């Protein structure tokens, strides 16, 4: 099986798109059997499943912050019990523009299993929205996508970062970014890979493999917050990769893993990925392309 895992990372998803395009060119793969995504990676995953590679490329090259977020007055939102800093109507409009009835039909008809991660605020558990039922697993809940509207809501849920963006309500429960539990969404993958088959797993991560050291003293409120977010993301990523490592060690058939990530933090000042700068995203997409080309050429049997 060919498996694609796309990580969270906001605007840094441009790196993943560049890596994905190079991956398809180098390997000749056009379709994946299982696609798992979190946050911006969920948006990429859905576009891949719908066969919209040119469109997802254009999205990450052309968008600015205003195309994704409407900044709110934080004090007014606190007073009026609005639990977010940004209104995401522009993002929702873009999701609806791409995830039409026709796109959902393509995903439904595809042999690929699509998995989109979110976290439920009420239960605190990882929830995987999927195009088909998943194998039962104690580590996540599963909701099967049944309509275009549910697909849109699932993508909003997966990509809306808690506090920064509003929770999304589905069936009376509130959902936020899956990166709170899985930045690199591996659990749905290892639980749904059929045994007795060889698997090739392509991981597109928007964050460097190693924790980047901090610089100087942190005295400003936002500086401390952003550094804490960076540390949190690293911890979650390491846990995600440990899940995959345990599966690979126990598998009875070959599992080749191709792990493609930047060599350094793409945007140290905005680890949340909420800076949609067109020139930066163009640069990150090029970095993703070059990094994927190097890894795939130098490690034809996997590098992880």
Over residues 95-115, the pLDDT tens digits come to: 999 999 999 999 999 999 999
Backbone angles phi and psi of 256, in degrees to 5: -100, 125
Cα(12)–Cα(22) distance, rounded to whole angstroms?
16
Examine the pLDDT at 151 and tell me if it is beyond 90: yes
Average pLDDT, the chain: 93
Active site residue: 7, 36, 131, 177, which one? 177
Contacts of 220 (CB under 8 A, 6+ apart): none
pTM confidence score: 0.94
Q: Does the structure show a pLDDT above 80 at 295?
A: yes
* C-alpha dist (Å) from residue 125 to 92, 140, 152, 176, 181: 24, 6, 20, 11, 8
Would you state the structure tokens that stand for residue 103, as one six-digit string?
Answer: 């796109």
Alpha carbons 177 and 166: distance in angstroms, whole number: 10
How far is it, in rounded angstroms, from Cα 215 to Cα 185? 30
For the purposes of burial, counting CB atoms within 10 Å of the CB of 210, is it exposed (0-12), middle (13-18) or buried (19 or more)? exposed
Catalytic site residue 39?
Answer: yes
- Give the tens place of pLDDT for each residue, 8-54: 999 999 999 999 999 999 999 989 999 999 999 999 999 999 999 99
Per annotation, catalytic residue among 7, 39, 131, 157: 39
**pLDDT digits over 221-245, tens only?**
888 888 888 898 899 999 999 999 9
Give pLDDT tens digits for 73-93: 766 776 777 776 788 899 999
Known catalytic residue at 76: no
């Amino acid at each position: 099986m060919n498996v694609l895992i796309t990580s969270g990372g906001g605007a840094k998803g441009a790196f993943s798109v560049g890596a994905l395009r190079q991956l398809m060119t180098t390997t000749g793969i056009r379709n994946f059997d299982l696609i798992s995504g979190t946050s911006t990676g969920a948006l990429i995953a859905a576009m891949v499943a719908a066969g919209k590679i040119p469109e997802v490329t254009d999205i990450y090259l052309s968008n600015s912050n205003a195309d994704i977020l409407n900044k709110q007055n934080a004090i007014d939102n606190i007073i009026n019990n609005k639990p977010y800093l940004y209104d995401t109507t522009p993002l929702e409009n873009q999701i609806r523009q791409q995830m039409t009835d026709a796109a959902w039909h393509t995903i439904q008809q595809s042999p690929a299993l699509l998995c989109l991660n979110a976290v439920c605020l009420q239960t605190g558990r990882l929830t995987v929205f999927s195009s088909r039922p998943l194998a039962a697993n104690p580590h996540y809940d599963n909701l099967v996508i049944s309509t275009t509207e549910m697909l849109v809501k699932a993508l909003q849920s997966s990509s809306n970062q808690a506090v920064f963006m509003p929770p999304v309500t589905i069936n009376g429960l509130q959902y936020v970014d899956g990166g709170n539990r899985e930045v690199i969404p591996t659990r749905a993958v290892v639980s749904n890979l059929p045994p007795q088959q060889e698997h090739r797993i392509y991981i597109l991560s928007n964050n460097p493999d190693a924790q980047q050291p901090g610089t100087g003293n942190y005295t400003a409120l936002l500086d401390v917050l952003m550094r804490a977010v960076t540390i949190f993301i690293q911890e979650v990523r390491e846990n995600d990769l440990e899940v995959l490592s345990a599966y690979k060690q126990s598998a009875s058939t070959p599992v080749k893993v191709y792990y493609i990530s930047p060599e350094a933090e793409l945007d140290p000042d905005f680890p949340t990925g909420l800076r949609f700068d067109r020139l930066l995203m163009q640069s990150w997409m090029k970095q993703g392309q070059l990094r994927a080309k190097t890894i795939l050429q130098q490690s034809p049997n996997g590098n992880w």
